[in-house]
A and B are shown apart, each in its own frame.
Chain A
Amino acid sequence: MSSRHFRLGFIIFLTPVLLWLLTLIVIPHIDLLIASFQAENDQGKLVFSQENYRNFFTDSVYWYTFVRTAFYSILVTVITFLLTFPLAFYITKIASKRLGGFLSMLLLLPFWVGELVSIYGWMILLRESGVINYILLGVGLLHKPVPLLYNDFSMVLGLVYMSMLFMVVPLISALESLDDSLIEAASDLGASKFTIFTRIVIPYAAPGITSGAIVVFMLVLGDYLSPNLLGGKNSLWFTEQIYNEFIASFNWNQGAAFGFLLLLLSSAIVWLGLRMSRQRLDKAVGA
Chain B
Amino acid sequence: MSPILEVRDLKKVFKNFTAVDRLSFTVEEGDFFSILGPSGCGKTTMLRMIAGFLEPTEGEIYIRGKKMAGIPPNRRPVNMVFQNLALFPMMNVEHNVAFGLEQRGVPRSEIKKRVDDMLERVGLAGYNAKKVTQLSGGQRQRVAIARSLVLEPSILLLDEPLGALDRKLREHMKIELKLLQKEIGTTFIYITHDQSEALVMSNKVAVMNHGDFEQIDTPQNLYKNPRTAFVAGFVGETNRFELAQSGHGTLRTRSGWKLAKEDAQEGMHWLFIRPESVILLPDPRMENLNRFHVTIKTILFDGANTKISGIIEGSGDEILIHLPQNAKFAEIREGDRVEAAVHPRDLRCYPKEGS
Contact = CB atoms under 8 A, between A and B. Distances in A.
Contact between A and B in the complex (any CB pair below 8 Å): yes
Contacts of B52: 188
Interface in A178-236: 179, 181-182, 184-192, 195, 199-200, 203-204, 206
Interface residues of B, number: 23
B89 interface: yes
Given A195-B103, A200-B88, A204-B89, A187 B82 contact: no
A193 B84 CA distance: 22
A203 B90 contact: yes
A176 to B, nearest CB: 15
A35 B22 CA distance: 82
Contact of B74 (A181, A189, A200): A189
Given A188-B51, A188-B79, A189-B147, 13 more contacts: A179-B86, A184-B80, A186-B88, A187-B72, A188-B53, A188-B73, A188-B74, A188-B80, A189-B79, A190-B103, A190-B151, A200-B88, A200-B90
B303 to A, nearest CB: 37
Contacts of B82: 181, 184-185
A99 B246 CA distance: 56
Contacts of A189: 74, 79, 99-100, 103, 147-148, 151
B132 to A, nearest CB: 11
A190 B84 contact: no
B75 interface: yes
B78 to A, nearest CB: 8
Contacts of B73: 184, 187-188
A203 B88 CA distance: 10
Contacts, number: 59
A159 to B, nearest CB: 31
Interface string B62-94: 000000000011110001101110101110000
Interface of B: 51-53, 72-75, 79-80, 82-84, 86, 88-90, 99-100, 103-104, 147-148, 151
- Main secondary structure, interface of A, reads helix
Interface in A100-150: none
A182 B144 CA distance: 11
A200 B151 CA distance: 19
B90 A190 contact: no
Contacts of B88: 182, 185-186, 200
Interface of A: 179, 181-182, 184-192, 195, 199-200, 203-204, 206
18 contacts: A181-B82, A181-B83, A184-B82, A184-B86, A185-B82, A185-B147, A187-B53, A187-B74, A188-B52, A188-B53, A188-B79, A188-B80, A190-B74, A190-B104, A190-B151, A195-B103, A204-B89, A206-B90
A195 to B, nearest CB: 6
A192 B100 CA distance: 11
A192 B86 CA distance: 17
A187 B51 CA distance: 10
Contacts of A187: 53, 72-74
A75 B52 CA distance: 41
Given A186-B99, A187-B72, A188-B79, A181 B90 contact: no
Given A179-B84, A181-B83, A192 B90 contact: no
A185 B86 contact: yes
Contacts of B147: 185, 189
A190 B151 CA distance: 10
Nearest to B98: A189
Contacts of A195: 103
Contacts of B89: 204
Given A184-B53, A184-B73, A185-B80, A191 B103 contact: yes
A191 B99 CA distance: 8
Contacts of B79: 188-189
A184 B148 CA distance: 13
Contacts of B75: 190
A181 B157 CA distance: 14
A192 B74 contact: yes
Nearest to A206: B90
A190 B147 CA distance: 12
Contacts of A203: 90
A280 B73 CA distance: 39
In the complex, the 6 A-B pairs of residues with the closest C-beta atoms, listed nearest first: A189-B100, A190-B103, A185-B86, A181-B86, A203-B90, A181-B82
B86 A190 contact: no
A281 to B, nearest CB: 22
B54 to A, nearest CB: 11
